[in-house]
A and B are shown apart, each in its own frame.
Chain A
Amino acid sequence: MSCRRIRRELLWLVRFGDFDAGSAPHLEHLAGCQGCRDAVGLDRALVRQLRTALAERIGEASPSPSVWEGVLARMAQPEPSMGRPWSARLAAFLRAGSAMAGASLALVLALNLELAPIGAIPAPASTDTEVVTATISAGRGAGLRHWEGRAPAAGTGLVREIDSTITWRPTPSEQLPLARPSLMAPGGEDADTAPATDPADAPAVGGPAVVINLVPVDAATMSSSNPTDESGESDDQPAAPAVPPAGGPT
């Protein structure tokens, strides 16, 4: 057994008086080891000083004679209520937290999903030339109506209007958070998605363009009710990955 280990066990034995027949090797070692004797001696001195320090804390102090009157006075006071139980406080906390989280989520959705359908945005292969397209029927997308014509006036992005198609390439500062290339999900269906306009026509600067096809309500209803027609359209019309399904969020 090493001296270090014996010393550690010796301190334990001395502190708590746990000597027994099994302590003989420790005592034998102690008799012949000056270092262990020093350690034990220092520990005993420490305990002695600790007792002195603790006794000094209380000294001769005793409670004042008026303490009993204080006890009677406190007994006369009504017992303080325990307040709301912890379960009720936890439930209130969770309710408040849920309400805040819900309001935050609603705010985020209201600000972002209106113009940038999350699930259908193609990830760009190249941030300079890739175009994000979006098609929406004129009879739907009430949220887009107020946006039509406003974004060009508010921003500096290029806007082209060809028949019922509006193409807007926003500058980086005009991009919605969900449409920024850095936030888009990589990979997926982008390779098969045809751009709405010729990328060469779009300016080199700025973010991905948004193309909005204004389609009459009836046509939109018909196309959504007939999947085969819809697939047929994709040959002639720009791919519309950003269009939410009929009845879905705009």
Chain B
Amino acid sequence: MSFREKSAWISVLSISGIYGFYFWSVIHTGPNPGTFHFGGLLMTVVALVVLEIVLHIAAAIFNPKEAQAPRDERDKLIELRAMRVAYSGLATGIAFACFFGAFTPPIIFNTNSLLFILVTAEILRYACQVIQYRRGA
């Protein structure tokens, strides 16, 4: 498995795990379930950054040569394809948010809902990279 594929696995698992816990805690805990907690989100972002750095360093130790090498043309193509899929997901999510916001009275998407759309698009991006690396193209 190449370093780039390991990196995509690390990102998809880290984001799913950390944000999965965040959204679970938003729904199930706190005085007002579903409301936005800035402190909780800040801790989530810090935890994600630390976890990704630690896991990427661990992956780089096992294959330092590949970790230092720049992305080749296939890596770039895989990233571009994954970005296209993720953008479609993000645009669809935002279009839904705008659609429901147009109702009278409007169904307003709160910050956590918009964050969920953004996180889902990120997971989609890295999952697409993993799938393409597994397929070989």
- Co-assembled chains A and B: no
B residues sitting closer than 8 Å to A (CB atoms) are none
A residues sitting closer than 8 Å to B (CB atoms) are none
